[in-house]
Structure 1
Amino acid sequence: MLEAYPILTLLPPFVAIVLVIATKKVLTSLGVGILVAGLLIADFNPLTMVTTIGQAIFGLVWVDGAVNWYTILIVAFLFQLGIVTALVMMSGGAAAFTEWAAKRIKTRRGAQVLTGLLGMLIFIDDYFNALAVGQVARPITDRYRVSRAKLAYLIDSSSAPVVVLMPLSSWGASIMGIMAPLLTASALVLTQVEAFVLAAAMNYYAIAALVLLWLTITLGLDFGSMRKQETRAIRGDGLHNPNETAPAQLTDTMPLHDRGAIRALLLPFIVLFIGVVVGMYVTGGILGDSWGVIDTLAAADVGIALNVGGLGALAIAGYYCLRYTKNNPTFQRGTRRRGTYHGAKSMLPAVLILLFAWVLADLISVMGTGEYLASVVEAMAVPAVWLIPVLFVVAAIMAFATGTSWGAFGILLPLAGEMMNAVPGGDAFLIASFGAVLAGAVWGDHSSPISDTTILSSTGAACSVASHVSTQLPYAFVGAISALVGYVLYALTESGLVGLATTLVVVVAMALVLRKVRPPLEQSTPTVATSAQH
C-alpha cells in the first residue's frame, strides 16, 4: 500500500503529533503512532504488524548484529543525571546555590537571563545542553516563579539553535562531514569550516530563534498558552499545568540537608562538562583518523562521552552528599540509597517517552517518510534560487514529522548539493541551500512533540512534554515566519545580507507588535509582579 500511496508515510507522525496536542498524553499518542506505522508497513496484517513493531523495539538494544550502545548509553546517562540531581539536592548544594544566586539575581528577568546565558555557553552538544542547563537553572527560576514551560522554552531555544551554529560542536562536526564531498563536487573553493560558517550565516531560523529568545526575556513576551502558564506561576498557583501529570518532585520523597555548600552543586556539573568534552575528544581521536579538533568532534561517540561526564559527576556528587550528611540525624541508614533510587525513578517518564519516540522514528524510517518528502522537492521544476525557501519548508516538515533534525539534514543536505551542482549557476546557491536545510531541520526539531531534544528539554525543565510543545509552538512559528520571509527576500535579491536583515527586522517587528498586544505581565498585572519578587 505504501508503494502505491507514498503520501501515507506521513500518516503515523501526523496522528501522533495531533494526538499529543489534543490529548496531552504523550506516551499514548506515540503508542498510537507506532501502531499506525506498524499496520501500514505490514499492509494491515496483524501478525506482521506485531513482528514489525517487535523488531523496532528489539532494535533499541540490538541492531545489525551488534549491541546498540548508543540508545543504552543515552538512557544510562539520563538515569545518572537523575541520581546526580538527587545527590546534589540531598547534600544541600542546590539550596546553597539558590541562596547564593538570590543575592545577585533579584528579578524574574534576571533568572531568565541566567538560563539564557548558560544555554549559550554550553554549546558542545544539544543533549548535554538541554539536560545540564535545566538542572542548574531550575532552582533559581523556581524561586522567582518562572513557569516550567517558560524554562523549557528557554532551554530548548538555547540548545539546538546554538549548537547548529557552532563548528566546535557535535552537530557542527557532523554537518561539515556531510558537506565535504558536496563541496568537492562543486566549483566552490572553500574549506569545510569556511563553508559551515557561511552556511550558519544563512541559517535564518536558528538566528531568529536566538534573537527572539533574548527579546522574550528583555521585553517580557508572554503570548499564546505561555501567558496562562506564566500568569499562574506569578500568582503562586503552581509552576506547571495542574491538569497534567506533574513531573516527579524529588523534594517530596527525600530529606534535604540545609547547610550544604555551593560547590556541592557546581563541582559535579563542572566535572560533567569537562568529562563530556574530554570524552568527545578522546573517543573522536580513537574512532577517527585524526586528532584535530574538528575531526575528533565529527567522529566522537557522544553516548560514551556523556557517560564519562555523568559517572564523574556522580562520583563528585556522591562524595559531597556523604560529606555533608554523615552527621545529619535525618539521614539514617538507607536514606541516601532511597534518595538515589528516587533520583533514578524521576527520569523514568522521560526515558519511556524517549524509547517510544525512538521506536516511532525507526518505523518512520522504514516507511521512507523522509525519502518521500525529498522526492517531492526533487520533482519541483523551479529556478535554483527559489529552491532555497522550498528547502526550508520541506526540511521543517520532514524534521517535524520524523522528530529528528539529523535525519532531515542527513537526507536533504546531499539532495540540495546534488541539485545545486546539477543545474547551471547552482554553485552560487549551494551554501544558501545548506543554510536553509539546516534552518528547517532545527525548526522541526524545535517544535515536534516526538523530537528527542523536545523531550529532553522538557526533562531538564521538569515540565510535561505536552505543555512544552503547546507553549513553544507560537514562538517557533514567529521565528519560522521571519526566516521564511528572509529566504523569499534572498530569492528575490540573491543577497544573503538582505535576507538576514529582513529576517531580523521581521522578528523584531513581530516581537514589538506582540508586546503591544499582550503587554508584559509585570506591567499588565502590577500586584502580581510585586508578589512575585518575594
Structure 2
Amino acid sequence: MEETTMLSLLPPALALLMIIATRKVLPSLGVGIIVGALILNDWAFIPSVSLIWEAFSSIFVSEGAINDWELFIILFLLILGIMASLISFSGGSRAFGDWALQRVKTRVGSQLITLIFGILVFIDDYFNSLTVGQVSRPLTDRHNVSRAKLAYIVDSAAAPICVLAPLSSWGAYIITIIDDILSDYSGIAYSGLQAFIYMLPMNFYALAAILFVFLVIVWKLDIGSMRKHEERAIVHQQLLDPTRKNVPGDHSQDLDTHHGSVSDLVIPIVALIISTISFMIFTGARAVDNATLLTIFAETDVARSLVYGGLIGLGASVLLTLSKRPSPFQMLRATWNGIKSMLPAIYILILAWIIVTIIDQLRTGEYLAGLIDGSIPTVFLPALLFIMAGLIAFSTGTSWGTFTILLPIAGEIASVLDLSMILPFLAAVLAGSILGDHCSPISDTTILSSTGAGSHHIDHVVTQLPYAILTAIGAFIGFLVLGMTGSTLGGLLVTLLIIVGIAFSLKSVITPLPEN
C-alpha cells in the first residue's frame, strides 16, 4: 500500500463497530489487526501474519534492544496489581473504606473526592488513571458507586487535566512541539510556553469535560447505559455487570482475612506517589543540560519512573502485609491474584498497541488530516480542526500521535491564511485530540482508566461515550464562535453555558437515583 486511501479507515472502523456491536474487545481488535495487515500486504496471507508478528514482538524488543516503554507499562500494571491485592488482603482497603465512610457520608461526596483527587494528580495521565482509581475504589465501593461511573470520573480527570498543566508529561511534550512550530514563522513574539498558557482558555473540550463531570456528579445525571449500572449498584449492590467476567484490576477474590488499618493503604500509596514523582524529576534532570521544571518534564522517562516508584510502593505493601504474619501460601495466592487481575487489561493493551502500529503504517491519521481543504473559510477552521483531531485520535487511539500529525498542519494552514489565528488552530487540535482520546476504546488512557477503576472496559467505553459527545457539542459551538469573533472569552463562555444548559436540561427530565 503505497498511498493513503479511504481503505486506511477500514481497520479502526471495523474494530470499533465490532466492539460496540458484540461488546467483546479482544476479538474485535483481532479482526481489525488482521484486516489492517491484509490491506498493507495487498491481501497476501503469509506476509500479513509476518507483519502481525513483527508488531507483537516490537512491544518487547525493538531494533535489537528491549522496548522499555511498552514493557515497563506492562510491568507497572503487574506491580500495581500485586500491590493492590496485598493492600486488600491485609485489610487496608476495608479499613480505608470504613474510615472514609465515617467522613464522606454520601455517594455524591465519594464521587467528588475522586474528581478532586484526579485533578490534583496532574503529573501524567497513566499515573493518574491507575492511581486515582485504585485509591478511590474502596470509598466508592462502600457507597455503591458503580465501577463504570468511577471509570468515567477517573478518565474525565486524567487526560483533560494533564493537557491543561504545563508541568506535566503532556504539557511539556506539547510545549516542545509548539515551540518548534512557532520557530518556523517570523513575526511571532512568544515562546512555546507562553503560547501554551495563552491557549489554556481555548482548550474548550478539556475545560468543559471537567465541568460536565462535576455537574453529572452533583445533579446525578445518569443517562443511557450509565443509569443501568448505577441503578444496579444502588438497588442490588452489584458494582459490576454480573454477567461479565475477567474484570481488569478486580480484587474481589482477595478476602480481607486480617484486621488492617488505614496506614496499610495510605503508606504504600504515598510511597508510590512520592517516589514516582521523584524519579520523574530525577530521570528528566539527567536527560538535560540546563534543567528547568519545564525541560525536566519534557525529557522525563515516565515508564521507567512508574516502575521504580511502583517497586517502592510494592515494597512498602509487602512489608506491611508480612507484619500480619501470613502464611507463604497466602502471600503467594495474594500475589498471583494481583497478577491475574491485571491480565485482561494487559491483553487489551497489547492488541491495542498492535492495531495502533498497523494503523500508523496505514497512515490513517495522515489520510484524515489530508481531507482538510485549504479553500475552507478561516472562520470555520477551528471547529473543523477540532472535529478532525477528534476523528484522528478516535481512529488511531493516540492523542500524542494526533498532536504530531495535526499540530504542524494547523500551523501551516494559519501561516498561509491568517497567522493571527495560529493559537486558536493549535488549541482546536489539542481539544479535539483529547475528545478522541476520551472516546476511543483503543486509547491506552481509556484502557487504563477502566483498569484503575476495576471496570469492564467495554462498559466504560459505552457509558462514557454519551457524556463525551454532549461535551463535544458544546466545545464545537465554542470553536465556531471563536472562529467567527476571534474572542477566546466569547468562545469559552458559550461552551460553558451550553454545557450548563445541557446539564440543566437533563436534570429537569431525569429522576435522580436515590443515594442508597
TM-score, L = length of structure 1: 0.94
Indicate the residue corresponding to 1:474 in structure 2: 466
SS in 1 for 2:104: coil
Amino acid at match of 2:367: Y
2:230: which partner in 1?
230
Q: How does 1:112-511 map to 2 (within 5 A)?
A: 112-186=111-185, 187-245=187-245, 247=247, 253-323=253-323, 325-326=324-325, 331-377=326-372, 379-423=373-417, 426-511=418-503
Task: Report the alpha carbon displacement of residue 248 of structure 1 after superposing the two structures with TM.
Answer: 6.2
Tell me how far 1:190 sits from its aligned partner.
1.3
Query: What's the CA shift string for 1:487-534, capped at 9, x where partnerless?
Result: 111111111111000000100000011111212112xxxxxx4xx2xx
Contact 1:290/1:296, CA 8 A, preserved across alignment = no
The corresponding residue for 1:110 is 109
Q: 1:467 to 1:13 in 2, by over 3 A?
A: same
Q: Distance in 2 between matches of 1:279 and 1:456?
A: 21
Q: Name the SS of the counterpart of 1:409 in structure 2.
A: helix
SS at match of 2:344: helix
Shift in Å at residue 384 of structure 1? 3.0
What CA distance in whole angstroms lies between the structure 2 residues aligned with 1:506 and 1:16? Answer: 32
Distance, in Å, in 1 between the alignment partners of 2:85 and 2:277 is 24
C-alpha separation in 2, matches of 1:67 and 1:247: 29
Task: Give, as a single letter, the amino acid of the residue that structure 1 aligns with 2:61.
Answer: W
- Report if the CA contact (8 A) 1:24-1:244 is conserved: no
Q: Equivalent residue of 2:482, what SS?
A: helix
| Counterpart residue type for residue 343 of structure 1 | G
AA at the equivalent of 1:298:
A
CA contact (8 A) 2:248 2:345 kept: no
Give the 3-state SS of the residue equivalent to 2:103 in structure 1. coil
CA drift at 1:261: 1.5
- Structure 2 residue matching 1:190: 3-state secondary structure: coil
Give the CA deviation at 1:249: 7.8
Tell me the CA shift for residue 319 of structure 1. 0.8
Q: Per the alignment, in what secondary structure is the counterpart of residue 337 of structure 2?
A: helix
Alpha-carbon displacement from aligned partner over 1:235-267 (angstroms, at most 9, x marks no partner): 025112223325268655444244212111111
Q: Tell me, yes or no, if the aligned pair for 1:395 and 1:441 is still in contact at 8 Å.
A: yes
More displaced 10-residue stretch of structure 1: 38-47 or 192-201: 192-201
**How many equivalent pairs are there?**
515
2-structure distance, mates of 1:339, 1:13: 37
Q: Which amino acid aligns with 1:279?
A: F
1:344 maps to a residue whose letter is I
Question: Identity of aligned pairs, percent?
Answer: 43
Contact in 2 for aligned 1:2/1:8 (Cα 8 Å): no
Cα offset, 1:427, TM superposition? 2.1
**Which amino acid in the other structure matches residue 185 of structure 1?**
D
Q: After TM superposition, give the deviation of residue 479 of structure 1 in Å.
A: 0.6
Return the offset for 1:81. Answer: 0.2
- The 1:249/1:183 distance shift into structure 2, 3 A limit, reads closer
The 8 Å contact of residues 79 and 314 in structure 2, kept in 1 or not, is answered as yes
Unmatched 5+ residue regions in structure 1? 523-528
Query: What amino acid is the match of 1:372?
Result: Y
Runs of 4+ deviating beyond 4 Å: 248-252
User: Which residue type is aligned with residue 68 of structure 1?
Assistant: N
Which SS does the other structure have where 1:166 is aligned? coil
Amino acid at match of 2:511: P
CA deviation vs aligned residue, 1:87-138 (integer Å, no higher than 9, x gap): 1112211111111101101111011011111101100000000000111111
Give the conservation status (yes or no) of the 8 Å contact 2:248–2:456.
no
Query: SS at the partner of 2:442?
Result: coil
1:526 aligned partner: none
Contact 1:112–1:217 (8 Å) recurs in 2:
yes
Distance (Å, rounded) in 2 between the aligned partners of 1:418 and 1:113 = 42
CA–CA separation in structure 1 for the residues paired with 2:170 and 2:252: 38
| Alignment correspondent of 1:24 | 23
Shift of 1:2: 6.3
Letter of the structure 2 residue corresponding to residue 382 of structure 1: I
Change (3 A) 1:249 1:292: closer
Cα offset, 1:477, TM superposition: 0.5
Q: Is the 8 A contact 2:212 2:471 kept in 1?
A: yes
Query: Post-superposition shift, 1:65?
Result: 3.6
Q: Could you tell me how far apart the structure 2 residues matched to 1:291 and 1:248 are?
A: 38
- Cα drift, residue 26 of structure 1: 0.5
Question: Structure 2-normalised TM-score?
Answer: 0.97
SS for the counterpart of 2:243 is coil
- Residue 380 of structure 1 deviates from its aligned partner by 3.6
Mapped partners of 1:490, 1:197: distance in 2: 17
Counterpart Cα distance in 1 of 2:463 and 2:223: 8
Residue 508 of structure 2 is matched in structure 1 by 516
Q: Is the CA contact (8 Å cut-off) linking 2:251 and 2:341 kept in structure 1? A: no
Contact 2:123 2:169 in 1 (8 A): yes
User: Aligned partners of 1:388, 1:248: CA distance in 2, in Å?
Assistant: 38
- Cα RMSD (Å): 1.4
Indicate conservation of the 8 Å contact 2:280/2:302, yes or no: yes
For residues 125 and 103 of structure 2, the distance between their equivalents in structure 1, rounded to whole angstroms, comes to: 28
Contact 1:100/1:262 (8 A) holds in 2: yes
Q: Does the aligned pair in 1 maintain the 2:383–2:428 contact within 8 Å?
A: yes
Confirm or deny: 8 A CA contact 1:385 1:429 kept in the other structure.
Answer: no
Unaligned runs of 5+ in 2: none
Asked whether the 8 Å contact 1:38–1:50 carries over to 2, the reply is yes
